[in-house]
């Protein structure tokens, strides 16, 4: 079953955009550490993290970047779309309690190849904390059976 919010490649146009917001919690950081196995003390140990350039614990960059996947898989293009590639550049730290908005914007649509390219980013207010670009495969609209 495909969610009715899913877009087909034929529906997509340059400039279309979607957003997902989430407040990062202590539990998110701890669970992500457990699932990923990334136990870097900059994420888990306040004393250690306080001695780094971040002056305190920060969320995993990939945890923050995963919010982009949420937008792509649930909003634009939505259910049924499949990642081909994603580039990420980490611009600033995110801490527990920060509210992050992930935004994607269609920059290119290749109908024949069933590919869409999107500008991707995560923001705290107007400040970019993650930037990048994604390419996804998107289904064509099913043709009626004769």
Query: In this structure, is residue 142 part of a structural domain?
Result: no
Query: In this structure, is residue 3 part of a structural domain?
Result: no
Q: Find the helix or strand (DSSP H, E) in which 105 lies.
A: strand 99-110
Query: In this structure, is residue 2 part of a structural domain?
Result: no
The number of folded domains in the chain is 1
Using an 8 Å Cβ cutoff, are 40 and 111 in contact?
no
Query: In this structure, is residue 65 part of a structural domain?
Result: yes
Tens of pLDDT, residues 89-117: 999 999 999 999 999 999 999 999 999 99
Helix residue spans in the chain (DSSP H)? 26-36, 41-44, 46-50, 61-74
Query: In this structure, is residue 49 part of a structural domain?
Result: yes
**Could you tell me the pLDDT band of residue 131, with boundaries at 50, 70 and 90?**
very high
**Which residue range(s) make up the domain with 115?**
9-137
Q: What is the pLDDT of residue 4?
A: 52
Using an 8 Å Cβ cutoff, are 146 and 108 in contact?
no
Q: In this structure, what CATH number is given to the domain that contains residue 58? A: 3.10.129.10
Q: What is the pTM of this model?
A: 0.90
Query: In this structure, is residue 91 part of a structural domain?
Result: yes
Tens of pLDDT, residues 40-86: 999 999 999 999 999 999 999 999 999 999 999 999 999 999 999 99
């Amino acid at each position: 079953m495909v969610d009715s919010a899913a877009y087909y490649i034929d529906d997509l146009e340059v400039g279309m955009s979607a957003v997902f917001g989430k407040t990062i919690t202590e539990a998110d950081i701890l669970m992500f550490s457990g699932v990923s196995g990334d136990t870097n003390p900059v994420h888990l140990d306040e004393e250690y993290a306080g001695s780094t350039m971040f002056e305190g614990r920060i969320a995993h960059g990939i945890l923050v970047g995963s919010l982009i996947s949420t937008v792509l898989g649930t909003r634009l293009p939505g259910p049924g779309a499949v990642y081909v590639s994603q580039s990420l550049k980490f611009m600033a730290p995110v801490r527990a309690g920060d509210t992050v908005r992930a935004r994607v914007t269609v920059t290119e649509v290749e109908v024949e190849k069933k590919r869409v390219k999107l500008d991707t980013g995560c923001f705290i207010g107007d400040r970019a904390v993650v930037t990048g670009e994604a390419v996804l495969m998107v289904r064509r609209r099913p043709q009626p059976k004769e």
